[in-house]
């Protein structure tokens, strides 16, 4: 939500899997960080052009300060030629989560994570 309490779409460009969890990163200097602190419930979406399928991942943000996450994020950024960490990163994963897979024909499958 923005300052007027309207929903906003936010890009999250980096995601790494460690164990059975997907971890995301944002920055404490960004408005989305404060918004997630105020309302930790999110829905993220990703699209795969082949087989033309969407993933909707929803759940509750749980902040994570495990150094292994920061290391994995830094390695991922380096491998993809992205900027190195700047020092205000905040890492999170989702709990009480659900993944839904959709096509133009509708819901294909859903699972609780």
Residue 48 lies in a domain: yes
Residue 89 lies in a domain: yes
Which parts of the chain sit beneath pLDDT 50? none
Partners of 88 in beta bridges: none
Give the number of other Cβ atoms within 10 Å of residue 77's Cβ. Answer: 17
Residue 1 lies in a domain: no
pLDDT value at position 77? 87
pLDDT value at position 57? 92
pLDDT value at position 63? 97
Residue 7 lies in a domain: no
Residue 6 lies in a domain: no
Residue 49 lies in a domain: yes
Cα–Cα distance, 76 to 8 (Å, whole number): 26
Cα–Cα distance, 63 to 36 (Å, whole number): 10
pLDDT value at position 69? 94
Write out pLDDT tens, residues 3-27: 677 766 777 878 899 998 999 999 9
Supply the CATH number for residue 65's domain.
2.30.110.10
Name the domain count of the chain.
1
Full domain range(s) for residue 66? 15-112
pLDDT value at position 98? 94
pTM: 0.84
Q: Is 75 helix (H, G, I), strand (E, B) or coil?
A: helix
């Amino acid at each position: 939500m923005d300052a007027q309490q309207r929903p906003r779409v936010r890009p999250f460009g980096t995601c790494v899997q460690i164990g059975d969890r997907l971890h995301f990163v944002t920055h404490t200097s960004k408005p989305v960080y404060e918004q997630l602190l105020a309302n930790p419930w999110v829905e993220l979406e990703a699209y795969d052009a082949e087989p033309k399928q969407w993933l909707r991942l929803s759940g509750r943000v749980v902040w994570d300060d495990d150094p292994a996450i920061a290391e994995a994020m830094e390695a991922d950024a380096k491998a993809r030629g992205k900027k190195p960490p700047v020092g205000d990163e905040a890492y999170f994963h989702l709990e009480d989560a659900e993944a839904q897979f959709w096509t133009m024909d509708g819901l294909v499958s859903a699972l609780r994570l």
